[in-house]
Structure 1
Amino acid sequence: MTKTLIGTPDEQPRKRKAPRLRDGVMKRGNTWSYVIRVKDPETGESKPRWVSGFATEDDAKAARDEARVRARRGEYIDRNAITVAAYLAEWIEGHAVEIKPHTLKGYRDMIRLYITPRIGTVRLQALRPSAITKFYRDLLTSGGKKGGPLAANTVKHVHTVLRKALTDAVLVDELLPNNPAERAKLPRVQATEPGMIWTPAQLRAFLGTTQEHRLYAFFHLAAYTGARRGELLNLRWTDVDLDKPQIHITGTAAVIDRQRVEGTTKSGRSRVVSLDLGTVKVLKAHRARQDEERLRLGESWKGGGAYVFTTGWGDPLFPDTPSSLMPKLIKTHNVQNPKAQLPHARLHDLRHIHATTLLLAGVPVHVVAARLGHADPAITLRVYAHVITEQAATAADVFAEALRSTA
């Protein structure tokens, strides 16, 4: 017995057509999907991989073609919904042990203050170079305090963190086929040339004014060795050999969350830095003064005599102490010497003055690099390229003079 359908053909129920798969692409509901076959590298078995959520058929086809190429190369990446914020949270925790505490804090700040608020909700695999470029531009114009501009150097630091994380997403976690941050456009950073903030005569004048201060030896050693602030604050008397004479730089000190922490040097390597006889005398006088302070305070002395540079009570110094003291000492000098004013300089500039003075005196780059603790002399060449250029300009005259002197 057959059933009779009532109504006109337009009123009769229609059978819903099943979605048709055409060359690996089909429409499901309001979005498009594609499917490719991917060979398992361990078993060799080929299995289908469905990827959905494309707005148009053309988008699905383009993604399909790209996925086919990667599958043939053995580079296919399974789809993952993890966001940029979620991945960075996992990434930073996974590196918490191996990254130095001060560097780790910097990474966390870059992620918390700049990356997560702006692109944290973006799906990691949807992050494109163009989106990262726009992200950098937005930071430049409105990424600072109260929506103001952010310094180009800070944007560069943000890029460094994001690039490192996305490199691991490619090479370690296999979530991305390539690193989109590598192809993003960074804002131009105006290069600054460290060097002779002060002349040697001005440096001598500053040290002369500082001579009566209990931390005079710190500024003297910073200027005469080129050591970093944290390296000097980590220095113990056991690291000082006044007979050879030299100091052994083994680590660094920093402040994280208001706590003084110690770790390895920036390069991760220790180094030996030679001393001149004048610096030996300065350190001997500093030790004698420290011994007097310890005897005067007796049981109130807290340091135990381990650290070279301490507070008046023997505690190891916080890094901010000499940094904040530097401008005060410069001001004192300028008040006492109105006709021989010193321009503003940072504590770190003593390191630059040391390096520049040696290079201009003709000390080989690799020797200067070793004193500064640069892992590669190429770093010294890059930072002090302007000094090397200045030397190169006089090379012809040096050669000609050498020949004339032998005539």
Structure 2
Amino acid sequence: MTLSLGTMLGVARTSTKTRRPRGHIRRRGGSFQVLVYAGVDPLTGKDHYLTESTRDEREAQKILTRLLGQVDEQRNPRTKATLGAALDAWLRTHEAEETTLDGYRGYVRRTIEPALGTVSLAKITPQLLEEFYADLRRCRHRCRDGSPSVDHRTTVEHDCHTVRHKRRPGRPGRAPHDCATAGCVVVACPPHRCTPMAASSIRQVHWILSAALAAAVRWEWIRSNPADNAKKPKQRAPQPEPPSPAEAARIVAAAWEQDAEWGALVWLVMVTGMRRAEVVALRWSDVDLDEGMLAIRRNYVRSASRGIEKDTKTHQMRRISLDAETVTMLAEHWARCDEQLLAIDVQPTEQTFLFSYQPARDAPADPSAVTHRYGRMCTSLGIDSHLHALRHYSATELLTAGVDLRTVAGRLGHGGGGATTLRVYAAWVGESDRRASEILGSRMKRPGPAAP
């Protein structure tokens, strides 16, 4: 069979069109743009090109060779998606509890997206991440050195300098008065002051970025995870600051002076070392006064303005022994709860919450309200403390009294057989060890001549 010249030229044209050029250089004004085909974008389904520009024609040839090498070695990104798109996709698919996801979304919204959300995945490098962490160590808002700014008290549109006028009882409206005499409060947005982000928060930011970029690798958006090679923020050793025994005594006394239920809550946290979410989730079905035992089965947390009951932090139930004084205190608290409920014609049940702000006691006390109330009480006493410090107090007092590490870990609900307890309370474990050495030394008689 003989083909005509026209037919042969047509076949040649067809074969030439079907063969895609791997890369080329085109001139655009006074610069040279390098384009290298890198496959199909898995996110958009369109052709994906690696592009760079230069004004030097020789440099353009070098760029073309480098980009072709990246494609051959599969080191190139496969999409033009931004880091923000990767974070959104990861948050939609990541499996975790709702409260945990809310925390991740907060870090993404406040810290990561304003800084890196619009950056292409192809431009995320270990150096870029480490510079980002350095900025957060200097100022959590990543302000610019020397540039004046303001720390606004709210995110909505507002007047940065306002006066909150005091009004006489029963008098609506702004009656003429002297603000100085009436004690009106001037509210102003203060000038910005750099506040470094905590090391633990920066590590959390790093973990979120690493997890989102790892998902992008699994989805074949990028070839490698730049967070793997970035230097992780340092994890400082925990430094618990429990109140002293004298301060603890003052705190408990002040709590009982406010009201009996508040005193019972503070006392129970101090002697058991429970977490805030665990103590507000307690129901009377968890208390065995006859056996002197307390079962910790759940947490109560707030997420997106709604309450959630869930498992404990370690997803394990634990039982704590109660001393005789605490059993008596809880029995008295049970009697007060019964009296309160019967006064409003509500029958007490085992599902009634130990600590509640509702008359029917059918909802737990708000965790944030408990924290704020404790903070105000300590401030009025001149003690710098927070509610979680009572947990530290319980742990350190037990360890310095010689209680073994595993028992303390069990009461606190620490996992790992005491590894977490040892890491957090290493200084107090050392004190317990010194006391143990004195006990052994006092019980042994050293052989040999008597000491002069």
Normalising by structure 1, what TM-score?
A: 0.76
Tell me how far apart the structure 2 counterparts of residues 174 and 382 of structure 1 sit (CA, whole Å). 39
- By how many angstroms is 1:137 displaced? 2.2
Tell me how far apart the structure 1 counterparts of residues 352 and 342 of structure 2 sit (CA, whole Å). 15
Match of 1:288 among 332, 335, 357: 335
2:442 alignment partner in structure 1: 401
2:268 alignment partner in structure 1: 221
Match of 1:307 among 349, 353, 361: 353
Alignment of 1:102-113 (within 5 A): 102-113=99-110
Q: Is residue 152–residue 189 contact of structure 1 (8 Å, CA) maintained in 2?
A: no
- By how many angstroms is 1:28 displaced? 5.2
1:255 alignment partner in structure 2: 302
Alignment of 1:14-25 (within 5 A): none
Tell me how far apart the structure 1 counterparts of residues 213 and 107 of structure 2 sit (CA, whole Å). 14
Q: 1:62 to 1:362 in 2, by over 3 A?
A: farther
Q: Is residue 140–residue 149 contact of structure 1 (8 Å, CA) maintained in 2?
A: no
Q: Is residue 139–residue 149 contact of structure 1 (8 Å, CA) maintained in 2?
A: no
- By how many angstroms is 1:298 displaced? 2.4
Q: Is residue 326–residue 347 contact of structure 1 (8 Å, CA) maintained in 2?
A: yes
Q: 1:108 to 1:25 in 2, by over 3 A?
A: same
Tell me how far apart the structure 2 counterparts of residues 68 and 360 of structure 1 sit (CA, whole Å). 63
1:366 alignment partner in structure 2: 406
Tell me how far apart the structure 1 counterparts of residues 273 and 415 of structure 2 sit (CA, whole Å). 15
Q: Is residue 278–residue 300 contact of structure 2 (8 Å, CA) maintained in 1?
A: yes
2:421 alignment partner in structure 1: 380
2:207 alignment partner in structure 1: 160
Match of 2:369 among 301, 305, 321: 321
Q: 1:248 to 1:166 in 2, by over 3 A?
A: farther
Aligned length: 358
- By how many angstroms is 1:331 displaced? 5.4
Tell me how far apart the structure 2 counterparts of residues 25 and 395 of structure 1 sit (CA, whole Å). 74
2:92 alignment partner in structure 1: 93
- By how many angstroms is 1:402 displaced? 4.3
* 1:206 correspondence with 2:254: no
Alignment of 1:114-263 (within 5 A): 114-144=111-141, 145=151, 148-153=193-198, 154-170=201-217, 172-186=218-232, 191-199=237-245, 201-212=246-257, 213=259, 214-263=261-310
Whichever residue aligns with residue 194 of structure 1, its letter is P
Whichever residue aligns with residue 335 of structure 2, its letter is A
Q: Which runs of 5+ in 1 are unaligned?
A: 1-17, 38-48, 71-75, 335-341
**CA deviation string 1:342-385 (max 9, x = no partner):** 62211110001111112222222222222222222222222222
Tell me how far apart the structure 2 counterparts of residues 277 and 302 of structure 1 sit (CA, whole Å). 24
- By how many angstroms is 1:269 displaced? 2.6
- By how many angstroms is 1:221 displaced? 1.2
Q: 1:54 to 1:193 in 2, by over 3 A?
A: same
SS in 2 for 1:253: strand
RMSD: 3.4
Q: 1:280 to 1:33 in 2, by over 3 A?
A: same
SS in 2 for 1:196: coil
Alignment of 1:47-86 (within 5 A): 51-55=49-53, 56-65=60-69, 68-69=72-73, 79-86=78-85
- By how many angstroms is 1:206 displaced? 2.4
**CA deviation string 1:243-269 (max 9, x = no partner):** 332222222112223322222222233
Q: 1:398 to 1:302 in 2, by over 3 A?
A: closer
1:40 alignment partner in structure 2: none
Whichever residue aligns with residue 106 of structure 2, its letter is D
2:33 alignment partner in structure 1: 31
Most deviating of 388-397 and 227-236: 388-397
Tell me how far apart the structure 2 counterparts of residues 403 and 227 of structure 1 sit (CA, whole Å). 39
Q: Is residue 195–residue 355 contact of structure 1 (8 Å, CA) maintained in 2?
A: no
SS in 2 for 1:252: strand
- By how many angstroms is 1:66 displaced? 5.1
SS in 2 for 1:215: helix
SS in 1 for 2:25: strand
Q: 1:349 to 1:196 in 2, by over 3 A?
A: closer
Tell me how far apart the structure 2 counterparts of residues 275 and 174 of structure 1 sit (CA, whole Å). 55
Q: Is residue 77–residue 174 contact of structure 1 (8 Å, CA) maintained in 2?
A: no
Q: 1:173 to 1:279 in 2, by over 3 A?
A: farther
Tell me how far apart the structure 1 counterparts of residues 67 and 440 of structure 2 sit (CA, whole Å). 63
- By how many angstroms is 1:142 displaced? 4.5
- By how many angstroms is 1:278 displaced? 1.7
- By how many angstroms is 1:62 displaced? 4.1
Question: Between the two proteins, what is the percent identity of the paired residues?
Answer: 29
SS in 1 for 2:309: strand
**CA deviation string 1:266-324 (max 9, x = no partner):** 2233222222222111111111111111111226x999952111115124211122212
Most deviating of 388-397 and 263-272: 388-397
**CA deviation string 1:121-143 (max 9, x = no partner):** 11224311101111222333454
Q: Is residue 152–residue 188 contact of structure 1 (8 Å, CA) maintained in 2?
A: no
Q: 1:181 to 1:399 in 2, by over 3 A?
A: farther
Tell me how far apart the structure 2 counterparts of residues 127 and 306 of structure 1 sit (CA, whole Å). 53
Most deviating of 283-292 and 135-144: 135-144
1:12 alignment partner in structure 2: none
- By how many angstroms is 1:179 displaced? 2.9
Whichever residue aligns with residue 98 of structure 2, its letter is P
Tell me how far apart the structure 2 counterparts of residues 64 and 245 of structure 1 sit (CA, whole Å). 73
- By how many angstroms is 1:103 displaced? 2.1
2:186 alignment partner in structure 1: none
Tell me how far apart the structure 2 counterparts of residues 298 and 344 of structure 1 sit (CA, whole Å). 42
